[in-house]
Amino acid sequence: MQIENPFHKKEDFNYINLDYIDKICGEDNQCIKELIDIFLEQIPAFISNINKYMDEKNLGGLAKEAHKAKSSVMIFMMDETEEILKKIHKLANSGNSEDLPFLVKQLEKKLSGATEELSEYLLLNF
């Protein structure tokens, strides 16, 4: 039996979209919860690692972390966040670090917003 989700339509979210999750999980609420839990566990590590690589000026590590984070945000159809990650990846790989601090701040804001929305979604639905 699927749970009624009052906070579930595309227009209800600012940072995430659950359409793809619904497509792959169907009515399996355990699947939905597990995917959200995995994402929520990964985000603090992504943010921490990206900031660490920025502080260390480790552009290779930054590029790898941005690439790794892309697949997670794609599952939640976070298109703007995916674009930011692509830009970070491209700039870090090219050695151009001028715009990276601004992009990393944007990324943190988007990931924090997604974390808040998904945490609230879990509270309301599971």
More confident residue, 9 or 54: 54
**Segment 1-15 mean pLDDT:** 61
Q: Whole-angstrom Cα distance, residue 79 to residue 90?
A: 16
In a domain, 107, yes or no: yes
Domain coverage including residue 39 = 15-125
In a domain, 38, yes or no: yes
Dig out the tokens for 55 from the structure. Answer: 């502080």
More confident residue, 20 or 5: 20
Q: Whole-angstrom Cα distance, residue 126 to residue 110?
A: 23
pLDDT digit string, tens, across residues 35-67: 999 999 999 999 999 999 999 999 999 999 999
Dig out the tokens for 124 from the structure. Answer: 């309301």
C-alpha distances out from residue 17 to 36, 48, 67, Å: 12, 24, 20
CB count in 10 Å sphere of residue 75: 17
Q: Whole-angstrom Cα distance, residue 81 to residue 74?
A: 9
pLDDT digit string, tens, across residues 69-119: 999 999 999 999 999 999 999 999 999 999 999 999 999 999 999 999 999
User: What is the predicted pLDDT for the residue at 106?
Assistant: 98
The length of the chain is 126
- Asked if pLDDT for residue 5 goes beyond 60, the answer is no
In a domain, 7, yes or no: no
In a domain, 2, yes or no: no
- Asked if pLDDT for residue 6 goes beyond 60, the answer is no
User: What is the predicted pLDDT for the residue at 27?
Assistant: 87
Q: Which CATH number fits the domain that encloses residue 110?
A: 1.20.120
Total count of domains within the chain = 1
